[in-house]
């Protein structure tokens, strides 16, 4: 074996830039807080907290998608990702920190602002009773601050904990004691069990309840059975793009010698396939509501398709469907580092816009404005994500040397 660069060293430039980005973002959030958050008008406050909320949820979910990717490939007995497996592992270390931020924001909204906020109308039971809103009153067993608190704590806590367990197991792959058939088998078995537990919890949260609780309940009267899958598809495709970006960055810096176009091709396939999957869910949700044309259902789309969010709504489809299907379709495109980088950035941006219109489109129905606050908040999370991921990458060897499936990844052929 040729000597390879095993240990990632964080370049000083990356550190400076990520911290600068975080600082700019933090500044934007502080100014936004002074500007909107302290305003006596509850609607202004809601806009500020809504912006921080969708950003923290989005960035937490796309980093959590990395752990989902590891667990899903582990359960599928996949070997191809072993060569760069440490990258999604490092990305998933962000989950506890972003989780804490998202948790604080969500709990502040439900417990701090409580019934005065209009973000979640179900917090104000008196108003619901006054309005005779039987539809939402029926849902209060699920939509109440207590359940919200417990379920949010459990969700974020278990994602972090189970993710930590997977990463801890992965450390064993650096030890020579894993050589040989018996230890290898037991390692894979333990990995499989941990991954299965994570996947089950992931399905119960990201795959169903969490998007209902955090985002769909902003329109408490409206519901869609596609919503959670839609959120999952959105976060997973952006998560795959994020992994691709980090892999390409490390390759650019001369690391990950064993990862090549074959692996990039498969990451590209994931980005392509899940963009189509997202569109499938988008369309299934939209078409049925459009066809049925029932006021209770169309209320969600009215101001999005025909109102102020029209531009963003269609931009969303162009970025997240038309671009991936046309650009990523060719085999040579998925094996091209520049094109995959471009598409990954575009897809992450597109799904960030998607989350923007999902949350802000319901909080701020009268006008759509992607302002400096949105971009500033995103910059805060992006900067922090870069800093934490780079740090985590430098803590472990980049290649799990004794992983039983490593060879499969080295000779991988798409």
Applying CB under 8 A, the residues found at the interface with another protein are 283, 286-287, 290-291, 293, 329, 331, 413
CB of 410 to another protein, least distance (A): 14
In this complex, which beta carbon is closest to another protein, that of residue 146 or of residue 332?
A: 332
CA 277 to chain CA centroid, nearest Å: 16
Considering beta carbons, is residue 174 or 262 the nearer one to another protein?
A: 262
Q: Which residue has the tokens 């072993």?
A: 82
**Shortest reach from residue 269's CB to another protein, in Å:** 14
Distance of alpha carbon 333 from alpha carbon 343, whole angstroms: 10
**Tokens 């039987």 correspond to what residue?**
134
Cβ 413 to another protein, closest distance in Å? Answer: 5
Query: What string of H, E and C letters represents the secondary structure of 13-61?
Result: HHHHHHHHHHHHHHHHHHHHHHHHHCCCCHHHHHHHHHHHHHHHHHHHH
The CA dihedral of 278, 279, 282, 288, to the nearest 10 degrees, is -130
Measured over the CA atoms of residue 210, residue 231, residue 363 and residue 28, the dihedral's sign is positive
Q: How far is the CB of 287 from another protein (least distance, A)?
A: 5
Smallest gap, in angstroms, from Cβ of residue 310 to another protein? 16
Residue closer to another protein, measured from CB, 338 or 413? 413
Closest by Cα among 125, 160, 150, 119 to 139: 125
Tokens standing for 195?
A: 């991954």
Q: What is the DSSP string of 164-193?
A: HHHHHHHHGGGSGGG-SHHHHHHHHHHHHH
Query: Closest distance between another protein and the C-beta of residue 409, in Å?
Result: 14
Q: Which residue's CB is nearer to another protein, number 223 or number 283?
A: 283
Please state the closest distance from residue 95 (CB atom) to another protein, in A: 36
Nearest distance from C-beta of residue 325 to another protein, angstroms: 11
* Residue among 152 and 224 whose Cβ is closer to another protein: 224
Task: Decide whether 293 or 338 has the Cβ nearer to another protein.
Answer: 293
Determine the Cα–Cα distance for residues 188 and 74; give it in Å rounded to an integer.
8
Question: Please, what is the minimum distance in Å from the beta carbon of residue 354 to another protein?
Answer: 19
Which CB atom, from 277 or from 283, has the smaller least distance to another protein?
A: 283
| Residue number, 203 or 305, with CB nearest to another protein | 305
42 with 222: CB under 8 angstroms? no
Determine the Cα angle at 335 with ends 413 and 5, to 5°.
Answer: 75
Check: CB of residue 56 under 8 Å from CB of residue 124: no
Cα(218)–Cα(153) distance, integer angstroms: 19
As measured in angstroms, the least distance from the Cβ of 4 to another protein is 23
* Residues 6 or more apart whose Cβ sits within 8 Å of residue 254: 5
326-to-16, 145, 272, 321 alpha-carbon distances in Å = 36, 45, 10, 8
Cβ proximity to another protein: between 299 and 317 the closer is 317
Q: Which is nearer to another protein, 144 or 284 (CB)?
A: 284
Query: How far apart, in Å, are the Cα atoms of 60 and each of 65, 141, 233, 258, 273?
Result: 9, 27, 14, 29, 22
């Amino acid at each position: 074996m040729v000597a390879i660069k095993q240990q990632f060293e964080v370049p000083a430039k990356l550190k400076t830039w990520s911290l600068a980005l975080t600082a700019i973002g933090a500044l934007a959030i502080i100014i936004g807080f002074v500007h909107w958050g302290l305003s006596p008008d509850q609607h202004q406050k809601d806009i500020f907290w809504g912006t921080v909320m969708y950003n923290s949820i989005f960035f937490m979910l796309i980093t959590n998608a990395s752990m989902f990717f590891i667990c899903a490939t582990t359960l599928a007995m996949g070997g191809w990702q072993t060569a760069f497996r440490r990258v999604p592992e490092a990305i998933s270390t962000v989950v506890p920190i972003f989780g804490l931020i998202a948790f604080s924001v969500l709990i502040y909204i439900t417990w701090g602002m409580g019934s005065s906020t209009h973000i979640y109308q179900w917090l104000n039971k008196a108003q619901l009773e006054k309005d005779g809103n039987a539809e939402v009153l029926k849902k209060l067993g699920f939509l109440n601050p207590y359940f919200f608190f417990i379920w949010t704590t459990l969700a974020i806590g278990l994602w972090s904990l189970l993710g930590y367990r997977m990463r801890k197991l992965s450390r064993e792959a650096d030890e020579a004691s894993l050589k040989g058939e018996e230890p290898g088998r037991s390692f894979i078995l333990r990995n499989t069990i941990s991954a299965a537990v994570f996947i089950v919890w992931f399905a119960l949260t990201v795959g169903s309840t969490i998007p209902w609780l955090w985002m769909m309940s902003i329109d408490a009267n409206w519901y869609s059975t596609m919503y959670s899958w839609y959120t999952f598809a959105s976060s997973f495709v952006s998560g795959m793009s994020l992994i691709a970006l980090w892999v390409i960055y490390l390759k650019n810096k001369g690391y990950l010698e064993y990862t090549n176009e074959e692996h990039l091709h498969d990451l590209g396939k994931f980005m392509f396939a899940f963009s189509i999957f997202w569109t499938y869910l988008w369309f299934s949700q939209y078409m049925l509501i459009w066809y049925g044309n029932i006021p209770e259902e169309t209320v969600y789309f009215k101001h999005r398709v025909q109102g102020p969010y029209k531009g963003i709504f269609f931009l969303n489809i162009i970025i997240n469907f038309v671009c991936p299907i046309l650009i990523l379709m060719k085999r040579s495109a998925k094996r091209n580092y520049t094109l995959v980088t471009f598409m990954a950035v575009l897809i992450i941006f597109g799904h960030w816009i998607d989350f923007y219109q999902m949350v802000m489109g319901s909080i701020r129905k009268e006008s759509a404005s992607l302002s400096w606050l949105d971009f500033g908040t995103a910059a805060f999370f992006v900067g922090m994500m870069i800093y934490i991921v780079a740090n985590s990458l430098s803590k472990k060897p980049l290649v799990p040397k004794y992983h039983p499936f490593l060879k499969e990844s080295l000779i991988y052929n798409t």
